[in-house]
Amino acid sequence: MRPSVGFRVDAEVNTSVQNTIKSPVRFEGVGLHSGARVRMIVHPASAEYGIWFRRTDVAGDRSGRDPMVPASWSAVTPSRLCTVVENASGVSVSTVEHIMAALAGCGIHNALIEIDGPEVPILDGSSKPFVAGLIARGVRRLEGDLRCIEILQTVEVREGNAVARLDPADALEIDFRIDFEDAAIGQQRKRLSLANGAFVRELSDSRTFCRQADVDAMRASGLALGGTYDNAVVVDGDRVLSPGGLRHTDEAVRHKMLDALGDLALAGAPILGRYTGIRAGHALTNKLLRALFSRPDAFRFVDCGVVRRNRLPGAGVRASDLPVLA
């Protein structure tokens, strides 16, 4: 589970500290695909704990299955529509990308997430409700050096015309391009450094999106049962069907960047590098992390130090960074 085990850690003179939240925060809603009600509580955790999910419904069912599920790239199981993590007992948690993006974007490195079902609540389809809850509780510093993953060499994976790549950079940057037939989305590109609260300001409120035809197909297959026009941007050709329209003209590509941050957060430590996604999805980003960790020459773990810490997504985040929605 610990990403630093077995790897060299290069330290600076000025070391950084790890973070958790000051007190528990509770979220309730429905699962996007299951439609089931779910309650989730994010608890503080000690240094070096990392991020773990605990299925409270499994803990009490006397099955003997392990209720603890690691938020790790190595625990991701194949899924086309969302990111799913699963432990050796077959216990899983799905749609983890939005809460993982919120934790990374707020600089939370250690937390225990208790959840009473197999799917994280979708809430409004973005990370904003999670971010707001975490910021309201506040950040508590922990004694323990914070390690970052520094990208040393380019690593790239492809599937058809989809590409995911990591290149060396001083801070985490995301460069994403999408291309959809529906004119309401079309071709979009955005590049952003995620330093100093940029995730919270620029990406956190962007919602998941889909085509009406895909919604119909998913529901026919027993999926997207919790999806509504209020927790997803639904488009049909050149029309946006969700009430109120778009929060940003390029909300779709912003959400893809949000998803990418959540999936990259499963690396187990903040990444210092440039992520490029071209039509990339959850599975391809996980494939990229697997390719990265199979190449010890392409990265190293370093102590974040003061300088690097100030370039991380959660550095200096404040409640005033949250977008104000009409």
Residues forming the active site: 282
Rounded CA-CA distance 130/110 in Å is 15
CB 157 within 8 A of CB 288: yes
CB 295 within 8 A of CB 188: no
Q: Is beta strand 111-115 parallel, antiparallel or unpaired with respect to 162-167?
A: unpaired
Buried/exposed 8-42: b ≥16 CB within 10 Å, e otherwise: eeeeeeeebebbbbeeebebebbbbbbbeebebbb
Rounded CA-CA distance 249/229 in Å is 17
Rounded CA-CA distance 223/212 in Å is 13
Rounded CA-CA distance 143/62 in Å is 36
Distances (CA, A) of 208 to 124, 181, 194, 205, 308: 9, 17, 19, 10, 31
Buried/exposed 289-325: b ≥16 CB within 10 Å, e otherwise: bebbbeeeebbbbbbbbeebbebbbbbebeeebbbee
Q: Is beta strand 299-303 parallel, antiparallel or unpaired with respect to 9-10?
A: parallel
Angle of helix 97-105 versus helix 128-137 axis, rounded to 10: 40
Chain centre to alpha carbon of residue 239: 28
